[in-house]
Chain A
Amino acid sequence: MKKFILILAAFCAILMTSCTKQPAAKQDDNAGPAMRTVTITAKIDEPVTKTSYAEGTTFSWTAGDQISVYCSDGNAYTFTATSTAAETTFTGSLPDGVNLGSRAFFPADDNHNLKEYQYSIPETKDMTGHPSADIPMIGDKGEGDSYAFKHCCGASKLTITNIPDKFEAIEIAVSHPSLKLSGVFGVFTDSGYWRWNPKTASTDAEKNFVRKVAVVDNEASIYIPYASGSEWWGTNTLAVTGFDAANEATTLVSDKSMKSIGAVERAHVKPLTPLVLSSLQFVDWASEDVETSTLDPSNSKKALTELKVTSDEFFMYCRVASTVDAFTGDFLDIYLSDGDGGDNYAISNSSHYWNTGGTVVYREEHKGNITASSLSMTFNGSSIETVVDKDGDNIYWSMAFPRSAHELLSEGTVYVAFMLWNGWSCAGAIPSRYTTMLPVMLH
């Protein structure tokens, strides 16, 4: 009878394996528990968020994504996606005798502990090796060897664009003065899935969320997980650091304020308006692509000596040069025109507007110390990034005009001129330092 039972068991085992869709398992020749390769499938019924960086709203696993599967021996085993698709297979190794359990988790880092209903969002993470939205998801085992995943929370998507060419990766750091952006959170399988506990950060580290990601086509994004149904209120602070091919770090953005994000819903992605970086500090002013006007001082005093202008998709960059002892530090005027005034200068003493053949559509005047390290200026309501450099006796004012701030900078040619005032006490307030109008074809 015992022999009959054994034979029956063997028959059943053979029958079961012959019906499977699983590939043949591999024998591990090394010492220790024998391992076998197991293939499972994983999909998600929530098609919005995704692990891939591709645009669009269709969920996709990315080849190389890793999930953790909680198995019958109480351990979690890592399975790796074999392709980029909305539903794909994951392969992993299990010891003989260990069966797939009912739960899986994404991402498969060391930060999940579903037995304690916890997931710990790391404060910092280098994701340059494998781009991923990295939004936590919990998977439920269905029929056969398939798992269906649901998002634990919502997320905001922060995109940085117009990243200068030299940078291959950037690190984006978001911090909040009190709310918890990283640390241990509760993961549940009821309708909440994800809970703040507590909502307020208990350590400074929990106020931070820092991710290093690769730059693709001058753009990079991070997804910031946030509890479903929670208000992400208050002012955040943003910093962006660029890394070149030698992994040298350069500060691109520091202490920039970011307004309240508002409500975040589970399984929703809230895309934030991309932050456009200027390349002001990286413009190659010696490039032949830069329009240049070498100036001839119009009187005996030293004056503006050079004007250079160039542009990219988002900004027009200007740099005007003078010498440190050419002025007492007073007024700097910028003129943008739709017409060429040529050499027909005529400055009105009373209004000090540029009277030329063209129509001046923008004039900005900076009053104050123009030798400071930066100037406080606006362009049609938008702030202008400025840099003031000194090199020996030379001084250079550089500025980035956001092209979105005025239709004059949308396309075609713009005429640019600068004027330096040397103080009201000078010759009846007649400005003596000015550039010619430099025609610039916008890129």
Chain B
Amino acid sequence: MKAKYIVPRTKPVLVYTNENILADSAAGITSSGENVSQDSEYNPW
């Protein structure tokens, strides 16, 4: 029996791999919140 009959193509693939993705490190991206806020209004006119 071939694999393609065992795992139907219509099913989502849930094995996420990091192959062939960006080479740079993901260390700089974190999910921690940052101190961000909308700045006060600035008048350029």
Q: Which residues of A come within 8 Å of B, CB atoms?
A: 3, 6, 9-10, 13, 16-17, 19-20, 22, 24-27, 34, 36, 38, 45-48, 57, 70, 72-74, 96-103, 114-115, 117, 138, 140-142, 145, 148, 150, 156, 188-191, 236, 258-262, 265, 267-273, 275
21 A/B residue pairs, CB under 8 Å, sorted by A: A6-B6, A9-B3, A36-B13, A48-B37, A48-B38, A73-B20, A96-B9, A96-B13, A99-B15, A102-B21, A103-B22, A138-B29, A140-B26, A148-B29, A150-B29, A156-B42, A189-B24, A189-B25, A189-B26, A189-B29, A261-B44
Contact A148–B9 (Cβ < 8 Å): no
Residue interface bits B17-38, CB-to-A below 8 A is 1, else 0: 1111110111111111110111
Contact B15–A16 (Cβ < 8 Å): yes
Bound Cα distance from A321 to B32, whole angstroms: 65
Contact B38–A36 (Cβ < 8 Å): no
A77 to chain B, nearest CB (A): 13
Find the B residue at minimum CB distance from A236: B44
The answer, among B9, B19, B37, for a CB contact under 8 Å with A268, is: B37
Find the B residue at minimum CB distance from A235: B44
Q: Which residues of B come within 8 Å of A, CB atoms?
A: 1, 3, 6-7, 9-22, 24-34, 36-45
Contact B12–A38 (Cβ < 8 Å): yes
Contact B42–A10 (Cβ < 8 Å): no
Which residues of the partner chain A approach B39 to less than 8 Å between Cβ atoms?
A: 265, 268-271
Contact B33–A258 (Cβ < 8 Å): no
A158 to chain B, nearest CB (A): 9
Bound Cα distance from A322 to B38, whole angstroms: 51
Contact A272–B14 (Cβ < 8 Å): no
Which residues of the partner chain B approach A3 to less than 8 Å between Cβ atoms?
A: 1
B9 to chain A, nearest CB (A): 5
Bound Cα distance from A141 to B17, whole angstroms: 11
Contact B43–A140 (Cβ < 8 Å): no
Which residues of the partner chain B approach A150 to less than 8 Å between Cβ atoms?
A: 29
Contact A25–B38 (Cβ < 8 Å): no
Contact B3–A6 (Cβ < 8 Å): yes
Contacts A6-B1, A6-B3, A10-B6: A261 and B11 contacting too (C-beta < 8 A)?
no
Contact B12–A140 (Cβ < 8 Å): no
Which residues of the partner chain B approach A97 to less than 8 Å between Cβ atoms?
A: 13
**Lowest 4 CB-CB distances: which A-B pairs, in order?**
A10-B6, A140-B29, A273-B43, A101-B21
Contact B34–A46 (Cβ < 8 Å): yes
Which residues of the partner chain B approach A140 to less than 8 Å between Cβ atoms?
A: 26, 29-31
Find the B residue at minimum CB distance from A37: B12
B4 to chain A, nearest CB (A): 9
Contact A72–B20 (Cβ < 8 Å): yes
